[in-house]
Amino acid sequence: MPWTHLLVAATVYLVFNRIGLVGFELPFFALLFGSIFPDIDHPRGMVSQFNILKVVSGALQRVVTHRGFTHGIPASLLFLGISIQITSFLELDIFVALGFFVGYILHLAADSLNPTGIKWFQPFHNGKIRWRISTGSLSERIFFFFLIGVVGILLSFQ
Ligand SMILES: [Zn+2]
């Protein structure tokens, strides 16, 4: 699933880039990082394997469940605030934080395609948004290769 999240983010980025809504000022790698960040609440999450984030992930897993707090709008805004502080401290462009945020939201959107779904407004509201694409299923593989096809087509147009 992390590869699907990365591919969703790359595809959306390329679509907006090709129709001229975003240039390359939106930091692509921040978007990709944001697209895998919410799974910091899972021990096998791709982002949970990075050095310092392994510690953060371990601490978070003691207080939240997978697809719990980190998978909602309130958490995305909290992490947007933190990323703005970090980009400001490191004197980076604000678009780094915004790219991270867009990637984060794309992660939530992609997880909403799963039958487990997510609660977008937790802890304030427990309504779930979900669909039918199970993790590791044939339908996820078809979705994945469809996205690869879209990326291939988009990259073929300069
Ligand atoms: Zn997730």
Is 39 within 8 Å of 106 (Cβ atoms)?
no
**pLDDT at residue 115 greater than cutoff 90:** yes
DSSP secondary structure letters along 77-90: HHHHHHHHHHHHHT
**In this predicted structure, what is the pLDDT of residue 24?**
63
Provide the number of structural domains found in the chain: 1
User: The pTM is what?
Assistant: 0.92
CA–CA dist 139, 11 (Å, integer): 18
- Ligand 1 ion: residues within 5 Å (CB): 38-39, 111
Q: For residue range 4-15, what is the model confidence (pLDDT) as tens digits?
A: 999 999 999 998
**pLDDT at residue 112 greater than cutoff 70:** yes
**Other Cβ atoms within 10 Å of 155 Cβ, number:** 11
Closest-CA residue to 35 (of 86, 105, 87): 105
Residue 132 Cα distances to 54, 68, 74, 142, angstroms = 31, 19, 25, 13
CA 112–ligand 1 middle distance (angstroms): 9
Mean pLDDT of 77-102: 95
**In this predicted structure, what is the pLDDT of residue 157?**
79
CA 39 to chain centre: 8
Is 130 within 8 Å of 116 (Cβ atoms)?
yes
* Secondary structure (3-state) at 119: coil
Is 117 within 8 Å of 111 (Cβ atoms)?
yes
CA 71–ligand 1 middle distance (angstroms): 6
pLDDT, the chain, mean: 92
CA 35–ligand 1 middle distance (angstroms): 9
Mean pLDDT highest for which of 76-85, 125-134, 135-144? Answer: 76-85
**pLDDT at residue 76 greater than cutoff 90:** yes
CA–CA dist 153, 136 (Å, integer): 25
CA 109–ligand 1 middle distance (angstroms): 9
Q: Look up the domain containing 34 and give its range.
A: 2-156
CA 157–ligand 1 middle distance (angstroms): 31
Q: For residue range 20-75, what is the model confidence (pLDDT) as tens digits?
A: 877 766 688 999 999 999 999 999 999 999 888 999 999 999 999 999 999 999 99
